[in-house]
């Protein structure tokens, strides 16, 4: 159906947004990000519907789920700024991250999950 080609073309639109990383994630870290899910089932559903497509795809340039080097500098901005960036959009990060009915509380939980090292989420 239409869904996958649409997603692929959206992702290819994002390829030009470049940020430099010190050390790229390993294949194992990417697989761990792809397999990680929030414990909270409602948040997990939102995450899988809205955030996972970019945030586990290296070519999207989005900070990789559970990959600390991507998140540490961003976390330094503070949670309020991160929530604002998700809500309003930030560079190649679309406003509300494809979750138009998400609350700031939802975004906070999603950010906490996405920025927590994967190993801690699996413990």
Can you tell me which of 6, 8, 15, 17 binds ligand HEC, judged by CB under 6 A? 17
Residue 88 CA to residue 111 CA, distance in Å, equals 15
* Whole-number Cα distances in Å, 33 to 85, 88, 114: 22, 25, 9
Of 27-35, 36-44, 98-106, which part binds ligand HEC (CB under 6 A)? 98-106
In the complex, the smallest distance separating the C-beta of residue 4 from ligand HEC, rounded to whole angstroms, is 14
Contact positions vs ligand HEC (CB under 6 A): 10, 14, 17, 19, 50-51, 53-55, 60-63, 74, 77, 82, 85-86, 90-94, 97-99, 102, 107, 110-111
């Amino acid at each position: 159906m239409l869904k996958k080609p649409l997603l692929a073309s959206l992702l290819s639109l994002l390829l030009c947004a470049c940020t430099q990383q010190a050390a790229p994630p390993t294949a194992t870290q990417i697989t761990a990000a792809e397999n990680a899910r929030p414990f909270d089932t409602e948040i997990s559903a939102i995450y899988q519907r809205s955030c996972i497509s970019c945030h586990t795809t290296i070519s999207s340039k989005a900070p990789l789920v559970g990959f600390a080097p991507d998140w540490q500098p961003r976390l330094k901005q503070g949670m309020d700024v991160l929530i604002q960036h998700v809500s309003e959009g930030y560079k190649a990060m679309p406003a509300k991250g494809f979750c138009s009915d998400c609350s700031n509380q939802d975004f906070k939980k999603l950010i906490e999950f996405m920025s927590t090292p994967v190993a801690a989420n699996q413990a």
